[in-house]
Amino acid sequence: MTNKMTAGEFVTFTDPKNYTAQVLLAHFFMLDYVLEMHTLGPTDRPFAFRKQVTRSWVVKAAERLPTAYQKYMLWPLGLAREAMAA
């Protein structure tokens, strides 16, 4: 539970070399996006840049992962590239 982590634990969890956490974060970000689109619909929000930031983060995180982790990024990466591209 990220809200119960100490500062040090959070830094360790979000480290780009913590590949498992990077995969989990990508899934979390994309799930958040899907739920938002389902509940709020595609609206022009004041923070529309969030979609581009999330998309960019997921794509870059996937590029940094070792080959063994790539299969776990199929759903978040596919969603980031396809659904969030517009």
Decide: helix, strand or coil at residue 76. helix
* Residue-level pLDDT at 4: 85
70 token code pair: 């790539």
What is the Cα Rg of the chain in Å? 14
pLDDT tens per residue, range 47-79: 667 888 899 999 999 999 999 999 999 999 999
* Residue-level pLDDT at 47: 60
Yes or no: say if 29 and 58 are a contact pair by the CB < 8 Å rule.
yes
Local confidence band at 24 (pLDDT 50, 70, 90 cut-offs):
very high
Yes or no: say if 27 and 76 are a contact pair by the CB < 8 Å rule.
yes
* Residue-level pLDDT at 84: 74
Q: What is the DSSP letter of 17?
A: T
Mean model confidence pLDDT for the chain: 88
